[in-house]
Every structure is written in C-alpha cells, then in structure tokens.
C-alpha cells in the first residue's frame, strides 16, 4: 500500500512556555478556521477557557469535486491487528480514498488508498488495543462514512472477543428453524410456486400450537428464475410469498446458477471445465458459467439483483445464498462430485486460465498449467509447488470476487435489507484439497451470515458446532443444518432418533447457532413425530430472542494446513472458543487483485 502523502503543516511556535506543536492534515484538505481555533485553545490551555477535547477535524474538500455516485460506505472491518485491518466497502466510481483513525475523538492515524476491489487493506503505525473509529472518505469525489472497530489484546493466540453482535433487524434477532427445499424447490407454474414434493412436508409442521418451523429456504435455479434474457418469473415467486405469508413463515432463497445447455447464456470458453476437459454438469443438460468470467458475473449480478428486489416485497424475507457445488454449497466446483466416477478439479476453462495467466504476469512470473494429482475416482491440486500455491490463491481470489458480486446484487436489489449468506460444506477438512474454499477470511468477508453444512452422519455432529465456532469467530450470523443421516437414519423415511434431534438442536442453540436448517428429505410421518420435541425447543429457543454466547476467539492461520491438505480449524477448537481465520501467510505477498 502507498504511504500517506502529507500536505499542509501548521506550525504553532512556542508560546508562554509551551513547546512547538505540529498539526497535520491529509493532502488536498484544509481545516476550518473554527476547528483550528478550538484546537489551539485546547493545546495551549488558555486561561478562562474550559478544557476542550479535540475531535477529528471537519474538512473542506476540493470544491471542484462532485459527490460520489454511491458511498464510500463501510460494510465491515475485519482481520484487525495492531498494524492492519481489512475493509469491505461499497462505492461507485470511487477511485481514491482517504482514511482517518481516531480514538476518543482524537485523530491518531491517517493515510490514502487507491482501491482495486471492494475489499481494501489499511496499514497504519502500531496502535494499542482499544476501540477506534475509522472514517473513510473519497479523495476523487465527495462522500464519507465511519464505523467503530476493536483492536484486540492478544494473549497466547487468544483474542478478546469483540462482543459486537452482527447488526440485524428486530425480526431477525430470534432463534430460527428453517426447512430446506433441497434439489427441486421452485416450480413457478405450480399453484403455489412450489414443486409438488414439498407442501405436504411443510404443512406437516403445523401442530395444534402453531408451526414447528419458522421459515423455509427455497432452491431456485437460474434457468427457472430467468428462462430467457431479462425475463423473470416474478409471478411464480409471488405465489411462494403468498403461501409463506398465509402461514407466517419466513422465506429465504438459494440461488443456484445452472443454465440449460444451449440457452445462449454462456459463451464458448466460459463453461466451468475440469482438468481433463469435462464440463461441470447437472442432470446432463445443465451447465454453469465460469466463476472467473466477468461476463457471467455481470449476468448473475442482474439476475440476483432482480431476485433480491422481488423477494424484498415480502416482509418475511430473510436471506439469499448462492451455491456452485452439486450439493448446493459455495465452493470451487468439482466435476463428477455426487455422481461417482473420476473427479475433476475445475478452473481449466479458457477464461479461467487466462485470468490465472494475468495473475502470474502481475507477479512477474511465467504462466504454466497447474498440476493435478490423480488417483482412482479422485483428484486434487498439487499445492506442494509455488505454481500450485499460486493457482490455489487465484481460485480463492476468484471465489472472493464472485461472492462479492453476489453480495452487491443482494444488497442493491433489497436496499440492504436482505442478508447475504455464505454457505460452505466443511470447516477446512482435508477434502478442501477438492473444494479449495477454506479461505473464509477473504471469501466470506462480505457475508452477513455463514451457513456450514459440515458433518456426514450421526457420529460426527460435533462438526456442526465447529462450523458455529468459525461463523461466530468471523462475526457472522451463525447457521448450520441437519439431514436424516445426521439423526440416526439410514435414508429417507427409515426413521430418525427424535431424542437425538432434540439434544443436537439444543446444543446448537446453546452454542450460538441462530438458524438451524432441516435439509434433504424428512417424510411427513417423521415431521409429525417431531411435535413434542419442537414444542420443547420452541418454549426455550425457537422464535425467542437470540443471545450470542460470550466466548474467547482464537485466531487460526489457514496455512500451512491448507497447502498440506490437513484439517485447518478443528485442532484449534476447544469446544468453548470461537475461531477467526487469518489468511496473512496464505497470499505470500500483497494480494493481486
């Protein structure tokens, strides 16, 4: 980052025994006369004047500058240390930024930044632990915003928790239980906009005392929402909204960016493609556009913005998430995942490889095709070389940009009212060598909530609490899920252990999970059998005000475990702490955006 260029220096010579004082302002800015007078009076402690606490100086900006088209607005401050912090901000045509850091009204640090993405890094001289205020203002246009942040005190790797709960509106400040309409959910031509498999299951939750769930999450594939360019199935979504409104259920949506083959949405060279040349596909006729394609990102932005705007017409709208994996989570896609047979690592379509070439070129390094290690029915990126590490870095950067684009669309469409949720399959387990998604510090930075689906069966439900530790360590609204296999079942309608359901759900709520999801398929008979257990949970948690448990936060570097294909977060989890991922060593040098 560029160091700040200092501008005006106002020197106050020795007066009445006081030493010389230097007053410094950012380049291109001047202080108002009233502020200077107040500051000088305070410093010199002139007789007869009450003590004055100096505040960050109001500034008069270059009168020739026009207001910024949007922002700069500070969305979040994260990865905070005593010398650096990363900022997620929103702005339109904001090509230069000034930052000021103040404490108790006193300016302590300042500088300039030229942003190259919506996530910037602020560097400053060492600051002591405490609460500070960051002010971000445009230097090429007028506009500013400020936000408080905490520089934590470190002690043996444990960080004192921020204790600031992510901002949520009153209706979102309660414990929730959602049912996921997995796979087939949205059917815009149906009477209620839902696939016929789901209404019976949803209404099975209607007990004498009310619904046992508080909402549903609808799965909407891109081709179902926008069958042809610019034409959206708004009436279909309004049918779903009417259905939920009549039952008092909240509504969330997973946007799944599948397109029908041959619908002319994805140009040649922009299909997600594996290292052996096979395209990422679903149901044989669905394809997905490259995550590194600017053209596809622009199309997805429009589709999600319109979806968010339509969903926002419902007072019970809750969140939007996006999935790129065959199991609906957000990862680097894996060809063949969920279908058996040989797996392929993706990112080998021409547009992705061209992006990787430019990434290497920006570091003055030659381009080469990354090497993939293969075994029977499996494959993984070789991250034992600098080339392999760089490809993992570019994948992480691509996932970050893709999700930031999604979040911007959600916020722009709903005027900031609908939550953006980052959904992931595992908390940095060895299978990350396939998914390459575990750099949550970067990829999930713009999210309001994090939804971890970790855990394969009844024997590893502790992974549900591990993802909660990561979610709350990141300062996000925490979400997890349970499917029939997590509750002593061998499949659909083979019976679940209802006592285990009650115990696991209560453990999740006690640990700080705010939204539990029922995923995959629970049959109506099983749902009706949940009644006494959900009644108990509703009396204590579901629908009641959410309370974030107060626990210490441990910083966890994702490297070198990321490179070595080892479990990243579990070794640092005690069961009573939260985990904050740190990616400093991951990038190796300044991130190349």
Provide the 10 A C-beta neighbour count for residue 415.
10
The C-alpha angle with vertex 430 and arms to 424 and 436, in degrees rounded to 5, equals 50
Q: What is the pTM of this model?
A: 0.72
Contacts of 171 (CB under 8 A, 6+ apart): none
Instruction: Centre a 10 Å sphere on the Cβ of residue 406 and count the other Cβ atoms it contains.
Output: 27
Matching residue, tokens 């500088």: 111
The first and second tokens of residue 295, run together, are 């053209």
pLDDT digits (tens, 9 = 90+) for 126-158: 898 888 889 999 999 998 988 888 776 543 232
Cα separation of the two ends of the chain: 13
pLDDT (tens digit per residue) in 70-102 = 889 887 787 788 888 888 788 888 889 999 999
Identical fold, 70-151 and 170-582: no
- Please give the pLDDT value at position 568: 96
Judged against a pLDDT cut of 50, whether residue 54 lies above it is answered with no
- Per-residue pLDDT for 16 more than 50? no
Q: pLDDT at position 172, please? A: 55
By C-alpha distance, which of 578, 585, 582, 583 is closest to 160?
578
Greater model confidence, 157 or 9: 157
- Least confident segment among 6-20, 204-218, 429-443: 6-20
How many C-alpha atoms does 6 have within 13 Å on its Cβ side? 7
Q: Look at residue 55 and tell me whether its pLDDT is greater than 50.
A: no
Hey, what are 282's tokens?
């679903």
Write down the mean pLDDT value for the chain. Answer: 85
Give residue for tokens 């990350």.
432
* Cβ–Cβ < 8 Å for 524, 198: no
The fold adopted by the segment(s) 170-582 is TIM Barrel (3.20.20)
Rg of the chain over all Cα atoms, to the nearest angstrom: 26
For the chain, which residues make up each domain, given as ranges?
70-151, 170-582
- Cα(561)–Cα(150) distance, integer angstroms: 28
Q: Give the 3-state secondary structure of residue 178.
A: strand
Q: With b meaning 16 or more CB within 10 Å and e meaning fewer, what string describes 254-274?
A: bbbbbbbeeeebbeeebbbbb
Would you say domain 70-151 falls under CATH 3.40.250.10? Answer: no
User: Quick one: DSSP state of residue 393?
Assistant: H
- Give residue-wise pLDDT tens across range 453-488: 999 889 999 999 999 999 999 999 999 999 999 999
Q: What is the DSSP letter of 445?
A: T
Residue 306 and residue 232 in contact, taking contact as beta carbons nearer than 8 Å: yes
Residue of 294, 289, 284, 290 whose CA lies nearest to 265: 289
How far is it, in rounded angstroms, from Cα 73 to Cα 145?
5
Residues 56-78 as b/e (b if ≥16 CB within 10 A, e otherwise) read bbebebeeeeeebeebbbbbbbb
pLDDT at residue 310 above 90?
A: yes
């Amino acid at each position: 980052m560029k160091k700040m260029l200092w501008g005006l220096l106002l020197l106050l010579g020795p007066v009445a025994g006081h030493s010389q004082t230097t007053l410094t302002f950012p380049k291109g800015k001047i202080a108002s006369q009233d502020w200077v007078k107040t500051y000088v009076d305070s410093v010199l402690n002139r007789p007869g004047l009450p003590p004055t606490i100096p505040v960050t100086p109001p500034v008069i900006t270059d009168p020739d500058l026009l207001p910024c088209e949007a922002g700069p607005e500070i969305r979040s401050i994260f990865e905070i240390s005593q010398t650096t912090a990363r900022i997620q901000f929103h702005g339109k045509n904001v090509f230069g930024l000034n930052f000021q850091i103040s404490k108790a009204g006193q300016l302590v640090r300042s500088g300039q930044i030229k942003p190259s993405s919506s996530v910037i890094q602020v560097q400053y001289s060492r600051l002591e632990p405490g609460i500070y205020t960051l002010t971000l203002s445009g230097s090429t246009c007028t506009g500013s915003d400020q936000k408080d942040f905490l520089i934590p005190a470190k002690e043996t790797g444990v960080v004192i928790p921020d204790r600031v709960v992510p901002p949520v509106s009153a209706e979102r400040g309660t414990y929730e239980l959602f049912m996921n309409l997995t796979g087939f959910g949205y059917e815009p031509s149906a009477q209620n906009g839902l696939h016929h498999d789901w209404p019976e299951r949803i209404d099975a939750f209607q007990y004498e005392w009310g619904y046992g769930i508080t909402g549903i999450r609808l799965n909407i594939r891109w081709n179902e929402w926008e069958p042809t360019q610019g034409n959206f199935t708004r009436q279909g979504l309004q049918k779903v909204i009417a259905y939920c409104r009549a039952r008092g259920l909240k509504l969330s949506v997973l946007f799944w960016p599948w397109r029908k083959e041959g619908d002319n949405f994805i140009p040649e060279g922009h299909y997600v493609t594996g290292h052996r040349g096979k395209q990422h596909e679903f149901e044989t006729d669905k394809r997905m556009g490259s995550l590194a394609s600017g053209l596809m990102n622009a199309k997805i932005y429009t589709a999600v913005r319109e979806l968010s705007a339509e969903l926002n017409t419902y007072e019970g709208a809750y969140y939007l998430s996006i999935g790129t994996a065959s199991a609906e989570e957000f990862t680097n896609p894996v060809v063949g995942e969920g279908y058996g047979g040989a797996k392929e690592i993706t990112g080998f379509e021409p547009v992705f490889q061209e992006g990787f070439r430019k990434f290497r070129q920006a570091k003055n390094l030659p381009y080469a095709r990354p090497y993939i290690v293969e075994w029977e029915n499996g494959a993984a990126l070789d991250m034992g070389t600098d080339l392999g590490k760089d490809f993992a870095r570019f994948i992480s950067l691509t996932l970050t940009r893709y999700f930031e684009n999604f979040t911007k669309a959600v916020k722009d469409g709903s005027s900031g009212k609908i939550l953006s949720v980052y959904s992931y399959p595992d908390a940095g387990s060895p299978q990350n060598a396939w998914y390459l998604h575990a750099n949550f510090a970067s990829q999930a930075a713009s999210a309001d909530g994090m939804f971890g689906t970790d855990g394969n069966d009844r024997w590893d439900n502790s992974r549900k609490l591990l993802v909660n530790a990561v979610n709350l360590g990141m300062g996000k609204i925490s979400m997890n899920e349970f499917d029939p296999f997590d509750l002593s079942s061998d499949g659909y309608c083979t019976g679940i252990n209802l006592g285990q359901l009650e115990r696991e759900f209560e453990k999740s709520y006690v640990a700080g999970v705010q939204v539990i999801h029922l995923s995959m398929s629970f049959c109506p008979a099983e749902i009706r059998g949940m009644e006494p257990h959900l009644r108990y949970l509703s009396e204590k948690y579901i629908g009641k005000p959410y309370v974030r448990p107060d626990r210490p936060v441990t910083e966890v570097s994702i490297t070198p475990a990321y490179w070595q294909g080892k479990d990243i977060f579990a070794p640092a989890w005690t069961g009573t702490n939260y985990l904050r991922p740190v990616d400093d060593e991951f990038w190796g040098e300044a991130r190349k955006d």
